[in-house]
Chain A
């Protein structure tokens, strides 16, 4: 099935016009139509086609690597870090999405060798690596089957033309496509149908096509009417800076996975933050066991990066004593669909370096909300002292940082009484007493029995403080915050991760390391400090829940991390991949060009070697006689044996006398050539001598007529 004349030319021109490669399309089209005018042809075998197709595939791989790793430069009227990065990322994504647009160029060598080959088709095994493998394994089912690549190439051209964004010349895509389709279908139409029927079928096809396009547009509009971010909210479990619902009061065992969610690498060995905080909350809603932020404190304020675009100063002028490199995922989405999320930050973070995000916003409860790539790897500069958290609202009327909800008030007061704190205890003594209270009288448990359930007898937290006295970190953190507040110490509820598991040069944080603790205001230092009363045994209990296949989960997490690094361009190995393909391409080129030549040389050498061994008697003098007789006008025909030819040659009257000696010589010649025992020295000499005599006689006798 071959394309009609000029169809490929038209398809390439169409592709070139829509893809802004008009001249390239024109040139490629002319080259492919050239064989109709010139007689030049190649003679390529199946192996050559295999190599050329492999070359095209590698070319596609290189091009894909290039478009994935290439960074587009975008010029904006009002450039800022965020919109420039966003525009660059979008431009890169569009460039990568336009990769199929290059397919007519990358498959052109294969198409060209078909049209310039003597056999105007390609072996079926060339275009399928599976078939090649099957053939190598001895499957001969596809051997000798050839296909015409021109129609697939035509489809590649119209497909490539379609991968451009709408607008401009692309608005005429359907019209051009329809014309080309009619042209192509005309060449393969069955002869049994009348012209009118065929035209009616084409019209129906066009009508269906247009209806289909409008249908797809409507479907797209319908899908877009859903709020993507709303859907995302239900799908992705992420920390909300506004509120957090605890698991207190629920029945069952808390189970979190061993999936690695954060990787840390301290710049100085051993100096790493124990806590990575994502958010903190002031207000506790006892009936719902919810922590939330009421008022304007949670509102995010955007901050601008430094001049380099990737350094974000959170606390100007703060001296940060330590640096830790953090890699984490941004696994929720902005309404625009960009990845976004809260950054897990060490306490007292003052500056974030090498943070490649579009925008960063912070609020006064210590949350930093970033939107950018799905994976961010940055250096957090941190140290003791001030943080981005607002100081407690001691002067305000609400005094949220000291509020104990009414539902929990009795239990809190009872617990404080149980601590037997002497009147006038210092802030330090109160904190130690609270710590000791939990340490002595409470145990860690992830099991939540019915005794902790909320009922008319009290809230889960009240039951925790008064009766059950065992629970997980949310109980301890919530109870600690309320107890400290009961003791007139401002406190907040913090959520994030606890860092404890060394891994390679740094540390890893798993999903099960998610933790809740308390922030306590140190009046003397004028700063918030982490205060964790959860028994330290919780780390051991959580770690003991390892499973035999955790290594597999670690490996999966690592692969996911590396892929995310590649996808979100947080590593340089895109370039390595790209450059690593170059040697592959060179090796393939070498294979295509030189291997065949080497093979031919080896074959020639083999043939020459074989000739020396298996073809004796080539020096027979009878060949001179043959040459002489041929010169008299009786050449031996291809495929004619000596005996028949001699009869023909001896029909000349003047040579009749030579019949007997010539036949005798022929017998000797045959024996010399084909008898395994060959001729002995005497017979060989006889052949030589008699041949010379006969040759002399032939030369001396004048040519005569034939009988």
Chain B
């Protein structure tokens, strides 16, 4: 069976490679000529009854001439691109490409194409994806099967290049449409020249390796009153407005061993003759943790992507509200961002979320124990689950038993409804919400 899969994988690589080559090399007119060539080749064999072979001969000569001239493009260029630091999946990304002509001959009518790193999966990744797809859909239900290509990471548009004078340079407008979050790798910039008939493009490739982080898609969130009680934060306002002591003076009291010297009120000491210190208000505020469930066997599931998007939406939005969300639990890692109440750690959270992958070799209990270790410092918890089963239900019950207010969001496949193995759940507080893919935005908008 593996041999058969290897053959299929081999044909997938060859066909996708051929498709990529044809899509870049052929112009729209070239496509028309190519298709007509195939049709006339099939029909034109009947020389006695049709003159289609004359059309075939002309198209063939066109194609041969165009391809022949396509392999003789002699010029030298250097190219650079000015990329933004990050992009967002599902949002077009605009940037500038500068191409410099290194020869003494001016060039016109050129195009610029981006060469991304080969996104095609290895055999193991490809097999894992197809096995997951087969598990997901019943056999022979072709009509239900959605065509997905999780390895297609971005659409790149070609851009026209203004005339390049000798030794001169010109700027082109690059546009990339990232389809998925993660690292987008650029390998080189290709300068393309059409043949005299405008059918086939000749290439000169200029290496320009660069990477860019593509952040997850995000949904707008309403003003959410996150659950959770005020809790004393050790370290005080250091985590709140800015680094340093709070200005909130409360009273004076006797010095106790361990009080910082800077809190000594020198005037009072002078008056009373014993050390008196200033007492400041203790800092209490709501501090939330964001828990993202990445424990699923499927490597490229839509549910994970949507769960990440939901988590990213919270990571971005909650910071602009009154609460603080600076603890992130993903997989078997916890991240704490103590930079203050700025927006800096939102970027860091998004960067982590951009690279999250499903973890198939560890149980959910890993995440559970991680959260339990930090439960004393959080006043509320936002959990984004990929499914609802026994371990997740137990985890939620444990947190509830600790008196920790929760907001549980369970992402489910489209049309799948909520039929988790965890069974029925008691949700008197209305803290558990099911988000069906395709209707997530609506469901999030209904949160209060």
Contact = CB atoms under 8 A, between A and B. Distances in A.
B57 A212 contact: yes
B403 interface: no
A177 B109 contact: no
Interface in A218-270: 220
B356 interface: no
B193 interface: yes
Nearest to A1: B28
B197 A177 contact: no
B402 interface: no
A162 B51 contact: yes
A174 B198 contact: no
B144 to A, nearest CB: 9
Interface stretch (B40-48, B270-278, B305-313): B40-48
B125 interface: no
A152 interface: yes
A630 interface: no
B58 A159 contact: no
B178 to A, nearest CB: 14
A201 interface: yes
A25 interface: no
B61 A205 contact: yes
Interface string A132-167: 001001110000000100011001001100111110
B317 interface: no
Contacts of A152: 32
Interface in B19-45: 28-29, 32, 36, 39-40, 43-44
B146 interface: yes
A173 B32 contact: no
A197 B69 CA distance: 12
Interface stretch (A188-196, A476-484, A605-613): A188-196
Contacts of A204: 61, 65
A416 interface: no
B212 interface: no
Contacts of B55: 158-159, 162, 173, 177
A439 to B, nearest CB: 54
B65 A190 contact: no
B376 interface: no
Nearest to A97: B49
A139 B146 CA distance: 8
Contacts of A197: 196
B147 interface: yes
Contact of B43 (A139, A163, A207): A163
Contacts of A188: 29, 197-198
B419 to A, nearest CB: 21
A667 to B, nearest CB: 27
Contacts of A208: 57, 60-61, 64-65
A138 B149 CA distance: 13
Give the contact-size bracket for chain A.
Answer: 35 or more
Contacts, number: 125
Contact of A216 (B47, B147, B194): B47
Interface residues of B, number: 40
B32 A205 contact: no
Contact of A159 (B29, B40, B194, B198): B40
A17 to B, nearest CB: 13
A198 interface: yes
A209 B37 CA distance: 13
Give the one of B62, B65, B197 with max A CB within 10 A: B197
A217 interface: yes
Nearest to B64: A208
B50 A162 contact: yes
B164 to A, nearest CB: 11
Contacts of A151: 28-29, 32
Contacts of A419: none
A173 B108 contact: no
A170 interface: yes
Nearest to A215: B57
Contacts of B57: 208-210, 212-213, 215-216
Nearest to A151: B32
Contacts of B69: 201
A462 B346 CA distance: 99
A189 B66 CA distance: 12
B58 A205 contact: yes
B211 interface: no
Give the one of A147, A162, A164, A174 with max B CB within 10 A: A162
B61 A212 contact: yes
A209 B59 CA distance: 8
B47 A190 contact: no
Contacts of A642: none
Contacts of B234: none
Contacts of B65: 201, 204-205, 208
Interface in A83-97: 94, 97
Contact of B198 (A170, A177, A189): A189
B29 A173 contact: no
B36 A155 contact: yes
B52 interface: yes
Interface in B64-101: 64-65, 69
B53 interface: yes
A406 B60 CA distance: 66
13 contacts: A97-B46, A97-B49, A134-B147, A151-B29, A155-B36, A162-B44, A164-B51, A166-B48, A212-B57, A212-B61, A213-B53, A216-B47, A220-B47
Given A139-B146, A165-B50, 15 more contacts: A100-B43, A137-B147, A151-B28, A151-B29, A159-B40, A162-B50, A162-B55, A163-B43, A174-B54, A192-B193, A205-B61, A206-B61, A209-B60, A216-B44, A216-B53
Closest CB pairs A-B (n = 9): A208-B61, A212-B57, A192-B109, A201-B196, A162-B52, A209-B58, A192-B108, A209-B61, A190-B194
